[in-house]
Amino acid sequence: MSFAVTILGSSSAKPTPDRHPSAQAVNIHEQYYLVDAGEGVQQQLIRYGINPLKLRAAFISHLHGDHVYGLFPLISTLGLYGRRTPLEVYAPAPFGEILECHLRYFDTELPYEVVWHEVRTTEHALLYENRTLEVWSIPLRHRVPCAGFLFREKEPPLNVDKFKIVKYGLSIAQITAAKRGEAVRLDDGTLLENGELTYRPYAPRSYAYLSDTNYSAKAAGLCRGVDLMYHEATYAAAEQRAARDRGHATTVDAAKAALRAGARRLVIGHYSSRYRDEAPLVEEARTLFAESYAAREGTTFTIEKRP
């Protein structure tokens, strides 16, 4: 089953000719989630082959324009496409007031409902879940209330070892009991512990999105063991003071966060417009965290299953 992140935008606030503002599409088991929505996000979805109608929910880290301005045209376009199912939007207050104004003046007859859920940016809380997924908020340190998001698969169902089915002559009822995590008693009275019969098909996968923020050891710690981490790196390491004063991170800050989290891979983005080439920024991050990569638009990072 798929678990992948497609970069739709990688720029910070000032426009550039070849980068869009922050936006990503997260595909988990062919269910799509939008993470931040900078200007032009609907065109970027189409450009990279993602049907906007497939979006289940949108997660907005904070209410700076380069992270949210693209959501309102997308809401309108989904209406033109004939969407009927509700769109869940998770965002900090006062997003509800902004949404209300948009709906009042621009989408008075929208054929579907936009449902806002407040993200409390000082809390590490479960925001969303379904049968296979949980999404948690991660408090960040920016100039305005801001939260990151941790996407985490739930434990996959147990599989029963086919060899053990044959070895012990297990019935359908016994196999079903084993899949529920129960011990199984054979016809001769032997009790088999569940671990003798079952195995997890793969370890749950995870993705952390740490948007605009100063370095936060606490935020990194909440992402312990994450498979893939996105961390903003607006500035090169030499601009540490500017990053600190403006509520942003450097390449080295991002690498430190990945190290603290024990992440398997790091993606950096939200580049300042002063940097035309992101390659030196990635190389700088790699001096501390080797598995660092650039958030280039159109790039998809796939998280493969592992035992």
Average confidence (pLDDT) over 103-110? 95
The pLDDT of residue 200 is above 90:
no
- CB of 115 closer than 8 Å to CB of 154: no
| pLDDT at site 154 | 95
Average confidence (pLDDT) over 202-231? 97
| pLDDT at site 103 | 97
The whole-chain average pLDDT of the chain stands at: 95
The pLDDT of residue 105 is above 90:
yes
Per-residue pLDDT band for 98 (boundaries 50, 70, 90) equals: very high
If we measure between CA atoms, which residue out of 141, 179, 174 comes closest to residue 157?
A: 179
Average confidence (pLDDT) over 101-109? 96
Q: Reduced to 3 states, what is the DSSP secondary structure of residue 90?
A: strand
The pLDDT of residue 39 is above 90:
yes
Alpha carbon distance 170, 116 (integer Å): 49
| pLDDT at site 288 | 98
Distances (CA, A) of 16 to 43, 236, 240, 272, 274: 16, 18, 22, 9, 9
pLDDT digits (tens, 9 = 90+) for 261-303: 999 999 999 999 999 999 999 999 999 999 999 999 999 999 9
The pLDDT of residue 71 is above 90:
yes
- CB of 72 closer than 8 Å to CB of 37: no
The reported pTM is 0.92
| pLDDT at site 164 | 83
Alpha carbon distance 299, 5 (integer Å): 8
In this structure, what are the phi and psi dihedrals at residue 119, rounded to the nearest 5 degrees?
-100, 115
Take residue 223 and report the two structure tokens written for it: 């992402």
In this structure, of 69-73, 120-124, 142-146, 199-203, the range with the lowest mean pLDDT score is 199-203
| pLDDT at site 279 | 96
- CB of 138 closer than 8 Å to CB of 147: yes
| pLDDT at site 150 | 98
Other CB atoms within 10 Å distance of the CB of residue 92: 20
Distances (CA, A) of 20 to 14, 94, 234: 10, 25, 14
Average confidence (pLDDT) over 57-65? 98
The pLDDT of residue 50 is above 90:
yes
- CB of 176 closer than 8 Å to CB of 163: no
Calculate ∠ Cα 228-115-206, nearest 5°: 15
Catalytic residues: 66
| pLDDT at site 283 | 98
Take residue 93 and report the two structure tokens written for it: 């207050």
pLDDT above 90 coverage of the chain, percent: 82
Distances (CA, A) of 28 to 13, 54, 204, 221, 239: 28, 12, 12, 23, 36
31-37 and 55-59: which strand pairing? parallel
Alpha carbon distance 42, 29 (integer Å): 21
pLDDT digits (tens, 9 = 90+) for 140-197: 999 999 999 999 999 888 888 888 888 888 888 888 888 888 888 888 888 989 888 8
